[in-house]
């Protein structure tokens, strides 16, 4: 149990002292960028899925 406590203490120390955190404005702009690309990517996947579903449905109607 002492090993886990020491690990957590060292982890917090590492995050506090050795990690370079972005500024608040930089963090906000990067969050918006990730959100926009996530939406675009999910719409692209939805579009491809819809097209493939239609193609597969037509194929099974054709072989019926």
Percent helix, strand and coil across the chain, each to the nearest 5: 90, 0, 10
Token output for 28: 């906000």
pLDDT of residue 64: 78
pLDDT of residue 3: 87
pLDDT of residue 36: 98
Domain boundaries, the chain: 35-64
3-state secondary structure 16-41: HHCCCCCCHHHHHHHHHHHHHHHHHH
pTM above 0.75, yes or no: no
pLDDT of residue 8: 93
pLDDT of residue 38: 98
pLDDT-flagged residues of the chain (< 70): none
């Amino acid at each position: 149990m002492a090993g886990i406590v020491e690990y957590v203490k060292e982890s917090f120390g590492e995050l506090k002292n050795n990690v370079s955190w972005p500024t608040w404005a930089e963090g906000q702009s990067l969050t918006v960028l990730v959100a926009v690309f996530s939406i675009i990517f999910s719409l692209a996947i939805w579009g491809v899925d819809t097209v493939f579903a239609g193609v597969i449905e037509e194929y099974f109607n054709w072989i019926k």
